[in-house]
Structure 1
């Protein structure tokens, strides 16, 4: 007899799923019965939050949904934070959980792991949450989930299956899965209206968001055809190649870029929320768009949030940019000395003068990383080198710089996300850039990395506490309570988990450690102390 749980893994494999993250529990073990009959690899984190962050990192690098098997009750409350981060950053994630037997739902009988409604609990961090009441529903619900991942704004989907449904017979269920719907194409009239506006513009400017991560070639051609200085969000780093003459970096929160936005007569925003953490990271409310605004987004509700559009184009970013290029008659042949490139170059010079001295050591660390490991992927946490890197770091490709300091902004993300990224791209060096405070949220996932044979590099920025929050409190004359936390011996802990570990004593030493780590058969933790003399250049 084929059970619903066995059918689930069969259908997941049919959709191209090759990795599942989860911690087996008495309510989910029947989901595992069918795994040996597939090629799906199972990764066991040490906490369900880690499972969600691993799935997130895997999805960001691979472009495919990260899949989790999660137990009822505490498993779902544990993963909710990771789902919140994925929801905020539009990351595809499928969370399959158990739930109590159908006749026990909402009865309040004090059953193991019982919640009044775990579906309601996570509905705010999911595109949708569905309770599967019969095995026959499974192909339809999975088809709905993968339609969201492939053809709409990608966000987590939660499917909960009652324990008695997981074990129910499923031989009779039709295996046919729904075809993945095509992505939405732009309205021709809206494209024509946008092109008329863009052709009349004297000072156009482009804002790229994470929705363009799969359309780098089109984005490059479009900004060059428009000769438009271009800024991009954290999740769009690498869409324009490093050093492109029109690139402004992710500096929309800084005055020179804000002034350029105000000087522009048309702004074209593609695949971006125009949200606070990318455009007002200094939280002063002074990012403004006062020119005509064209917005392109796959999410209809997003098209007029934050900044209402003059032209709103509901479309996949790549298809919209292709349509714009055709309508513009773009022929290529960009001149690096163009007026737009000169405007962008002037702003970059102004930005260089604004770099705080405190960032210089962090900037040099990032440069050493990129020069030593040119193909690297950096999964960052909420830590100082990530904050500065969001402004300073220029990725060479999309999907190679991402972190939890934007959007939902959780701590502890960087380590498990790097594990997921490494499993998605085992041939590439992957660095978890994390602070001493953040790593203590998910430190046991070092064991998961060893077990999964994922030789990531953990670059630990150690300032012996919550340094950024401490400075924030000091600037406002607030007593620094709760920020000077106990700092353990991270090198000893990492070695105890089976990792290599060392402390960088200079930039040359850091490079040597990185070269050694990239050849290692296990994770390597490299500690960089913020107080180290070599970071100040003394």
Structure 2
């Protein structure tokens, strides 16, 4: 290893990331990132070789969702950045902290159109709309400032991706001074004003039918949410990103049911709704607008949410956990009689259970077999597939950070690489990937990374209906002749075997349950291909 005063910009950047607590990076080395890779040996940072830059981004996303820490990618300029852009967009839509470090061409060539390798007209502009910020380090001295700014976003703002491009000459040149240990203390998210807290507490105390909606921004506030729900006798809904915030059998836990009619009917009865860390988007609710008839109070770190599609009566800008604890301190200590609210939640659950169509009944049966053998500390990473859409509201998550779904951007191909990234972030947790045959083929190459890197259980449950099923059904509903929705699939068992996976093919739901249990005890990757015919 070189002495500090001879560190290149790339080496110093890697050391700086390590000092910020980065322990894993996902990527594919290329001729334009060699100086970053020079810095990895001896840094304590694990490099995970993916098979596509999109996979690197999705793995970083899954890592971040399970650990709460930013996922980090190294990608080359040009095609590396554009390949990763879909994953960056997904992380932006779902407020996931991700740091993408890329190279860019030599400083002297930027914007010149000389036809350099991997050249783009303006690389920063390509990622600016899908990041908290995208910047170019014009000198090595810019790097500690930009990394500090990135971690300030992750720790004190709405956590979204950051892209930092580093010119080849900046990566390769020796730094003038060693800034690799200059870790800036990050600000917290803080509390709303005392006036806003008191206004919200007064409205909650005076409410006759209060209810709570908690999203991905409330994942660290589970205990405060439970206490607030109990104190107010308020049913608590979550978004898909907030699944697991209450114990599955908590009497006031309304689950992630705001995407189906019984949930809409219940929330309409609220006279005050407290929304905590939720974007409240149509992708959360499966309808353009929730039927909110009462006053809305919003806790969020993003001030743009306070007067968007759902203007609020009281805006509470601050950290979710600290804000809820401050509200609890201002509310009457007496716990309300929960009988009517508990009865309403029980009726909601019954209505959801009884209101499923034939396809959802099949999904329920599969999900029940999963629940029967899923280890208590397991996580589930899902793709955009009908089985996961049903699981979003039907499957009870036992803890936060246990159901990973690409809600906002809704990209196919997310489930497998995100599950791999989650496993690498939490190797002690068994993982399950739920993926359809269509989405699986978007990122199937990442099975190579999974087999290479994992020595603890990751089960990939492939729901094979030999169709782009949701799109086919949508076409039929709109009286459109189905076109392009019945692809010719490969032999998935042979394909997974070629990558080195253990492969199982159940012929019944009983066999599925047995094979899932076997997969969760196998120290490696198991692919279970479940065909539609055997799930009925």
Above 0.5 in TM-score? Answer: yes
Which deviations, in whole Å up to 9, do the C-alpha atoms of 1:97-141 show, x marking residues without a partner?
A: 000000000000111000001100000110001100111121111
Counterpart for residue 451 of structure 1: 452
Between Structure 1 and Structure 2, how many residues are aligned? 528
2:533 is paired with a residue of what secondary structure? coil
Q: Which residue of 1 is the match for residue 39 of structure 2?
A: 34
TM-score, L = length of structure 1? 0.96
CA drift of 1:195 comes to 0.9
Equivalent position of 1:483 in the other structure: 485
2:218 corresponds to 1:218: no
1:394 aligns with 2:400: no
Matching of residues 174-193 of structure 1 within 5 Å: 174=179, 175-193=181-199
1:166 to 162, 167, 171: 171
Q: Deviations over 1:284-324 (max 9, x none)?
A: x3522121111110101112221000111111111110001
The CA distance in 2 between the partners of 1:167 and 1:286, in whole Å, is 52
Distance 1:257 1:512 in 2: 34
Structure 1 stretches of 5 or more lacking a match? Answer: none
Q: Does the 8 Å contact 1:125/1:156 carry over to 2?
A: yes
Greater Cα offset, 322-331 or 496-505: 322-331
- 1:23 match: 28
Give 1:371's aligned residue.
Answer: 372
1:259 to 253, 259, 265: 265
Task: Give the TM-score normalised by the residue count of structure 2.
Answer: 0.96
CA contact (8 A) 1:23 1:44 kept: yes
Q: 2:141 aligns with which of 136, 139, 143?
A: 136
> Does the aligned pair in 1 maintain the 2:107–2:169 contact within 8 Å?
yes
CA displacement at 1:512 relative to structure 2: 2.1
Matches within 5 A, 1:229-248: 229-248=235-254
Query: Residue 416 of structure 1 corresponds to which residue in structure 2?
Result: 417
Cα distance in 1 for partners of 2:312, 2:351 equals 29
**In 2, Cα distance between equivalents of 1:229 and 1:515:** 34
Post-superposition offset of 1:518: 2.1
- 1:59-100, Cα deviation, whole Å (9 max, x unpaired): 000000000000000000000000000000000000000000
User: Among residues 75, 86, 91, which one is paired with 2:80 in the alignment?
Assistant: 75
Asked whether the equivalents of residues 259 and 393 of structure 2 are also in contact (C-alpha less than 8 Å), the reply is no
Contact 1:3 1:171 in 2 (8 A): no
Alignment correspondent of 1:60: 65
1:123 to 124, 128, 139: 128
**Separation in structure 2 between the aligned mates of residue 73 and residue 66 of structure 1, nearest angstrom:** 21
CA distance in structure 2 between the aligned counterparts of 1:51 and 1:343, rounded to whole angstroms: 44
Q: Unaligned regions of 5+ residues in structure 2, if any?
A: 1-5
Residue matched to 2:101 = 96
Q: CA deviation at 1:39?
A: 1.1
Stretches of 4+ aligned residues off by more than 6 angstroms: none
* 2:91 is the alignment partner of 1:86: yes
Task: State the distance in 2 between where 1:367 and 1:33 align.
Answer: 49
| Superposition deviation, residue 521 in structure 1 | 3.1
Work out whether residues 205 and 332 of structure 2, in 8 Å CA contact, stay in contact via their aligned partners in 1.
no
CA distance in 2, matches of 1:344, 1:517: 35
How far off is 1:331 after superposition?
6.2
Tell me, in whole angstroms, the C-alpha distance in 2 between the residues paired with 1:330 and 1:71.
Answer: 56
Q: Does 1:315 align with 2:318?
A: yes
Please say if residues 282 and 289 of structure 2, whose CA atoms lie closer than 8 Å, have aligned partners that are also in contact: no
Asked if 1 retains the 8 angstrom alpha-carbon contact of 2:433 and 2:461, the reply is yes
Report the 3-state secondary structure (helix = DSSP H, G, I; strand = E; otherwise coil) of the residue aligned with 2:503.
Answer: strand
Whole-angstrom distance in 2 between the partners of 1:30 and 1:18: 18
Deviations 1:415-471 (A, max 9, x none): 000000111111111011000000000011000111112542110000002011101
Q: Which residue of 2 aligns with 1:287?
A: 290
* Residues 1:200 and 2:206 are matched in the alignment: yes
CA–CA distance in structure 2, aligned partners of residues 95 and 368 of structure 1: 38
* Aligned-residue offset at 1:171: 5.1
Task: Answer yes or no: is 1:504 the counterpart of 2:506.
Answer: yes
1:151 aligns with 2:156: yes
CA shift, 1:517, in A, is: 1.7
Is the 1:184–1:298 Cα contact (8 Å) retained in structure 2?
A: no
| Deviation of 1:403 (Å) | 1.1
